[in-house]
Each structure stands twice: as C-alpha cells, then as structure tokens.
Amino acid sequence: MEGMNKTRSIEEAIACIQDGSSIMIGGFGGVGSPPSLIDAILEKGVKDLHIICNDAGFPAIGAGRLITAGRARKLTASHIGSNPVAGRLMTEGKLEVEFSPQGTLAERIRAGGTGLGGILTDIGIDIEEVRGSKQIIHTGGKEYLLEPAIRADLAILFCGAADEWGNLTYCKSARNMNPLMAMAADYTAAEAEEILAAGSLPGDQIVTPGLFIQTVVQSRGVNWQWVWEQK
C-alpha cells in the first residue's frame, strides 16, 4: 500500500498551477483556508488566476492575500465586503467579480463535483448582478435561473487531520466549503494540521474520502510576520 501514500512537499502540491489557472480555495473569512499553500502560490509568482471561494477573505488573510497581491484577474464569490482591496480593484476595472449567493455558490460547486451541468434556483432572479445573462427556465409554473456548475483546475483545502491515503477530517466551522471543492477540481491538494499513518482515522470520522484527494501536505501554519507587515 506504500504506493498509495499521497503526502508530498508543498512545492510539489502546486506544481500544476500556472498563469491563468482556475483555483478553488476553501475557507470562510479566512477560517479553513490553507495558509501554507497560499504562501507557496504567492512565492511561485503565478498571476491572472480565476479564484473561486466563498468570499474575498481579508487583505492579509485567506484568499484575500492573492487578491491583495494582484494575482487574480477574476473572482467568483458570495461577497467581498471584508476585503476593501477587492472592492477597489473591482471598481477600478482590475478585477472581474462574479457574485453568486452563498447557497447557490455551494450548490454550483457541488454540481461540478457530481457531474451535473448546473442547478435551477429562483434565488436572485430579480437582481441584475446575479441574473446577468443567465438562461431563464420555466418549469412547474415558475421561473428559475439556470446556474452553471463550477469546476476548477486546482482546489486547495485545509483540514484538521489527514491520513497518508488522503482521507480528511475537519475542525468545526473550518470545514465550510472544503468538502465540496474537493470533488470539483481536476487536482486537489489538502493542507493538514496533522498527518496520520494510513488507516489511522476511524471510518465514521472521515468527511472527505481520499478518492478525491491527489496530494496531502503538512501545514506550516500562518505566517503571522507577513500578516503583521500588511497592517
């Protein structure tokens, strides 16, 4: 079973990302985002990314770090209010922002992970920023928006514990969108606070099966010096 060991270096985990890649980043306001993988992407210098995440994080925390550094050309998220840099870049025309209501965003990602082409919802049908040019479907006497499924080239996640086979558990609310994103990318890398021997995790505690995970890396924690320097 040694060949099933998915633990790799952080540098190996992001080797596939390049300029223009689409990337899903787990997290809610930074909680549940993978700090070491984000560090590595910043160090690699890739740009023109399409970032898909719940929110824009904060300027120095979570996915917001990539936005603050000017690495994103497009952001798909439910809101950006916690990151004034994202708002400024959007206003200046330097960042394309696609807003999607939080529940709809989660279901679009789930659809991408389960092979569906999209979902039908009436949420936001009367809001121009949400409706845009999306197709209107009439069924059951009601109108719905056809919201397309979302997939990405790469998903980077954060988990509490992982085993060497890529099975993951999460700590409370840090779970958020991570399990959905694990299914919806061509390549998924999980950053773990703790990596255990293969088979160590009780089956009833596993949330994301290793089937969806290509790489597991050991977290180095948050680079608080970098965060402090951005304040």
pLDDT at 195: 96
The pLDDT confidence band at residue 231, using thresholds 50, 70 and 90, is very low
The pLDDT confidence band at residue 223, using thresholds 50, 70 and 90, is low
The pLDDT confidence band at residue 131, using thresholds 50, 70 and 90, is confident
Concatenate the DSSP letters of all residues of 156-185 into one string: EEEEEEEETT--EE--GGGGTTHHHHHHSE
Q: What angle do CA 173, 154, 25 make, to 5 degrees?
A: 30
pLDDT of residue 104 exceeding 80 = yes
Q: What angle do CA 213, 149, 124 make, to 5 degrees?
A: 130
Q: What angle do CA 39, 41, 47 make, to 5 degrees?
A: 135
Instruction: Give the pLDDT confidence of 132-178 residue by residue, as tens digits.
Output: 888 999 999 999 999 999 999 999 999 999 999 999 999 998 999 99
| Pairing between β-strand 142-148 and β-strand 118-121 as defined by DSSP bridges | antiparallel
The mean of the pLDDT values for the chain is 92
Residue 199 Ramachandran class (φ > 0 left, ψ -120 to 50 alpha, else beta): left
Rounded Cα gap, residues 14 and 215, in angstroms: 9
The pLDDT confidence band at residue 129, using thresholds 50, 70 and 90, is confident
Instruction: Give the pLDDT confidence of 55-86 residue by residue, as tens digits.
Output: 999 999 999 999 999 999 999 999 999 999 99
Would you say 35 and 221 are in contact if contact means Cβ atoms under 8 Å apart?
yes
pTM of the model: 0.91
Would you say 156 and 34 are in contact if contact means Cβ atoms under 8 Å apart?
yes
pLDDT at 225: 52
CATH homologous superfamily for the domain 2-115+150-221 = Glutaconate Coenzyme A-transferase (3.40.1080.10)
Strands of 3-86, DSSP E: 22-25, 49-52, 72-77
The pLDDT confidence band at residue 2, using thresholds 50, 70 and 90, is low
Q: Which residues pair with 55 in a beta bridge?
A: 79
pLDDT of residue 46 exceeding 90 = yes
Q: What percent of the chain lies above the pLDDT cut of 70? A: 94
